[in-house]
Structure 1
Amino acid sequence: MPSWLADVPITSGAVPVVLYVLALAAVTASIVIGVRAGRWRRVVIAGVAGGVFGGIVAWLVGDVWNLLDVGFTVVVRFWIVAAFAALAAVGAASLGRGAGPRRAPLRRWRIATPAIAAVLAVAAAAIGIDTDFGQYPTIGEAFGVSGFTRAALPAVRAVPGTTAVTLRGWRAPAGMPRSGRVSVVDIPGTVSHFHARPALVYLPPAALTAAPPPLPVLIALSGQPGQPSSVFRAGHLDALMNAYAATHHGLAPIVVAPDQLGSPYVNPMCVDGRLGNSRSYLTIDVPRWIRAHLSVLSGRRAWAIGGFSQGGTCSVQLAAGDPALFGSFVDVAGELVPSLGTVTKTIDGGFSRNAAAYRAATPRGLMLARAPYADTVAFFTVGQTDTLYTHRDRIVARIARSVGMHVTFLVSPGTGHDWSTVDYGFVHALPVLTARMGLP
């Protein structure tokens, strides 16, 4: 897929507006063309019944069965109801078509419009739901194509002994780029043998100069399903870092977005187990690659990890489990425990039926085993309407506070389990993180 096509937004701009208009026009045309005089009542009844059925489906999937482990917002429920109502109305209308002349153009339209209307109605609902979640903001993201390209990384220079002095005395050289750059890189699982998809690296303007200063590191993780590019395409971390760098002489944290999943449809739960050695990959292979290929600061205060949903859970697990590596973490709407759906399925599928190993890998188990934490900063962020994950994150935050972590709990106004909550969380965490990391 060409980069220009991959970069086309589908949750903002002209694309969703055009699709909504076409869907409304097609559904209306299908009803008008397909219904014989006097049959509007049947179409209305079918539309209302379809909407009620859609509401029941949303309630069952989102509330009763919780199949997606995500609470549905009012916007999501509206689109589900609208889609079912439109499909039912179009279906009822198509059954009441007049015969008309067999070869007349009107007859061909009567045959085609129900199918066109149904496809456009489903597509419009999908875009509406995606806009609410913010999961796939571009065509590329929807098809697993990031749109970012590979670029040579700057040569790593020797890190001076006193890194803080280097950063305090840094002045932007002439010719420094005005914005940072996101590049696709390969981080092999040399030790873990984890089969990861390509990672992405954001380098701020200062890191793109001839003699870049050593900079702090933020490892950012997407949710599941997701891919590394989601933290930039949906989470806009590159824009956030560029805004910070614009007022700080080109300085900002380097952001590395590795793949903790291996596939959008697999959840290794950031542990070493039957589903892949995700933990070793993220705590051994990725940090070694970063130190070998990027000019970065050493020391736990200069390293942070953060993520959304499943990535937020991983951030707690890895920061709590390896406090010598990460001094801070950002958990945006993370889970209470790593999960494959049910506790039994998780223990059987991810921990080879070892319940003790499962308990030890939970945020609670990791924190209690390594308590107390004298100098770990934890940010928890949830959406105001995301009641399910708010309850979970409050429990984890309470445990983190009890073991000595410095905890900040944020509620994003008016958002749910979506990337808008991620934006809010990182925007509010960044000033504290950068100060801890040694940036001015």
Structure 2
Amino acid sequence: MTELLNGIPLLTGWAAPTAWALTVLVVTLLGWTRTRHLGAAGRAAVLGGGPVVGLASWVAVDVVWRPVADGLGWFVWLWVGIVALVVLQAVVVPRRSRAGRRRRRLDGALGSLAAVAAVLVAALLAVNAHFGAYPTLGAALGLTVESGTLADLPQSAPESASSRPPGPLLASWTPPADLPATGQVVEQAIPASDPRFAPRPALVYLPPAYLTADRPLLPVLVLLAGQPGEPRDWFTAGNAQASLDAWAQRHHGLAPVVVVPDPLGSNTANPVCSDAHLGNVATYLQRDVPAWIEQNLQVDTDRSRWAIGGLSNGGTCALQVITRDPQAYHSALVLSGELHPTLGTPEETIAVAFGGDADAYADNDPLTLLGRRLYSGTAVLFSAGVDDETYLPAVQQLEAAAKAAGMTTELRTYPGGHMWSEWATAFADQLDWLGVRLGLTS
């Protein structure tokens, strides 16, 4: 069943047209069977009710609550309004049902449920296609990630750091007979030292070379998802394991050990990746996570072979980490990062996250930090979608500031906008750059 669900594509050209066609069909049928018998006022109430619900939801979530700094976007609220319209149509009792026959009332109820279910599926298909999120139905259901635990893995005695020959690891590594074809993902809690911050479990990708009896000391990549989001997103929507396995197959089983911790705490939380009123997330990523990695994984502890990366909110966070503490990680991937850490506006961010302390905000703002000091030995690969009208200009400005601050930088663009399909493509493409930076390849 898992293989079957993983084989059902959601991002091919049929998804969006099918969603719209199904919705038009349902709205038309309900209009004919339910609302055409209403008076003009009743029809207006039903037809106007959907847009009103969509608009009210937008105000309540994106304007008042604001769990996501940039909002969920007009496309989401358009579909909320469409679903609300169908619900209103579906609850109208057909005239013939008022005659009193139980079977007709049951048929009407089942028809209403089927109509609402069909449009909910259409809405999910359309929104998924709009954001380029889950490539298959299995990915949407989280079935592409089969995770174990570290306790399931055999212990091994890795080579010592002093015995590693100079130069790229690929030049001196001989793949053993027990090298598996693919890596493995494990789920693991990485606790925070600050009790105010409760991160969700992390996912760890261990490449094929790590799973051998005489594993080499591999470099480390820490990846961060966006907001709203969770660590699993990198492996479902981001296709990270497949990209890493493919890269490892081309390099005799070698790839970074990839740790995907949670810098948020929940889908609706945004502690702006800082030691602030919302929890000490900076300490978590710069101290707690590296300490856990060194204590629990057999990896190269030379931080010049460690990198951090992220997308959107996570890309901003990765740049915050490397500008605050360039010794923690020496390389970074910033995919579609924001210009500033934000809860909506600078004033709101300073007030809510930093208790009104503008200096504390500046100490956690990468653009400000890049203007204050010079960074040597640090490299950042910036990227964004060519259609991302908001984040591409931000990434361009950040890349220019990082270059001026002495960082080794590169800027790449990819087809698409602010969506997972673009980030998955970018990550797979950027593994070669990482391989050189992390000492795996020349």
> Amino acid of the residue matched to residue 278 of structure 1?
V
Gaps of 5+ in 1: none
Q: Which amino acid aligns with 1:148?
A: S
Q: 1:89 to 1:374 in 2, by over 3 A?
A: closer
Give secondary structure in 2 for the equivalent of 1:261.
coil
Q: Who is 1:229 aligned against?
A: 232
Structure 2 length-normalised TM? 0.82
Distance (Å, rounded) in 2 between the aligned partners of 1:285 and 1:199: 13
- Once residues 362 and 209 of structure 2 are traced to their aligned partners in structure 1, the CA distance between those partners, rounded to angstroms, is 43
Moved more, 263-272 or 213-222: 263-272
After TM superposition, the structure 1 = structure 2 runs for residues 107-122 of structure 1, keeping only pairs within 5 Å, are: 107-122=105-120
Partner of 1:287: 290
Find the aligned partners of 1:6 and 1:210 in 2 and give their Cα distance: 34
- Over 3 Å counting, the alpha-carbon distance change for 1:287 and 1:144 in structure 2 is farther
Partners of 2:231 and 2:262 within 8 A in 1? yes
Identity fraction in percent: 33
Q: Do residues 246 (structure 1) and 244 (structure 2) align?
A: no
- 1:145-200 CA deviation, whole Å, 9 max, x = no partner? 97633243444535231534454221111121100001001222247874222111
Instruction: Single out whichever of 94-103 and 192-201 deviates more from structure 2.
Output: 94-103
Aligned with residue 353 of structure 1, among 349, 356, 367 = 356
Matched-pair contact (CA < 8 Å) for 2:2–2:138: no
2:392 paired residue number = 390
**Would the alpha carbon gap of residues 116 and 181 (structure 1) be closer, same or farther in structure 2, given more than 3 Å must change?**
same
1:11: how far off?
A: 4.0
Give the CA deviation at 1:394: 1.8
Asked whether the 8 Å contact 1:310–1:334 carries over to 2, the reply is yes
Match of 1:168 among 167, 171, 174: 171
CA distance in 1, matches of 2:81, 2:161: 63
Tell me the amino acid that sits aligned with residue 212 of structure 2: T
TM-score normalized with structure 1 length: 0.83
Give the match's secondary structure for 1:315: helix
Task: Provide the C-alpha distance between the structure 2 equivalents of 1:65 and 1:191, rounded to a whole number of angstroms.
Answer: 29
Q: Is the 8 A contact 2:147 2:185 kept in 1?
A: yes
Q: C-alpha displacement at 1:329, in angstroms?
A: 0.7
Give per-residue Cα distances to partners, 1:38-74, cap 9 Å, x unaligned: 999x979976x7898799889999999996544888x
Structure 1 residues 283 and 389, CA gap change in structure 2 (3 angstroms): same
Q: Distance in 2 between the 1:391 and 1:268 partners?
A: 24
Please report how far the alpha carbon of residue 246 of structure 1 lies from its aligned counterpart in structure 2 after TM superposition: 0.6
* Partner amino acid, structure 1, of 2:401: I
**Secondary structure, counterpart of 1:341 in structure 2:** coil
- Aligned alpha-carbon RMSD (Å): 4.1
Distance in 2, Cα, partners of 1:197 & 1:86: 32
Partner of 2:275: 272
CA distance in 2, matches of 1:61, 1:384: 31
- 2:187 aligns with 184
Q: How far apart, CA to CA, are the structure 2 residues paired with 1:59 and 1:193?
A: 30
Contact 2:192-2:288 within 8 A present in 1 as well: yes
Q: Aligned AA for 1:33?
A: T
Between 1:424-433 and 1:145-154, the stretch displaced more is 145-154
State the partner residue of 1:297. Answer: 300
What is the aligned residue count?
432
**Equivalent in the alignment of 1:377:** 379
